[in-house]
Amino acid sequence: MSNKNEELIEIITKFSESGWDVIDSISQAWLNAENNSKELISAITQADAECGSCGCEFDPLYKRALVLLQGA
């Protein structure tokens, strides 16, 4: 497994454990290999728009996950 895949899995795992309904269940579905990358990208984009500059630990993760997903 490449470092980028490992990084992406780590980020998506954090999203799945966040407790935020915008990204948690869709992230868990992706981790369960439900082939929902388009839906996941949409959810992360929404999360970034709503919370991407609040100063929390997730702010840079939204942007990085989008880069990794679009390159996958």
pLDDT for the residue numbered 25? 96
Is the pLDDT assigned to residue 69 strictly greater than 70? yes
pTM (predicted TM-score): 0.90
Domain ranges within the chain, ordered by starting residue: 3-71
HEC readout, 20-67:
CCCCHHHHHHHHCCCCCHHHHHHHHHHHHHHHCCCCCCCHHHHHHHHH
Q: What is the pLDDT of residues 9-23, one digit of tens each?
A: 999 999 999 999 999
Q: In the block, which residue shows the tokens 């999360």?
A: 47
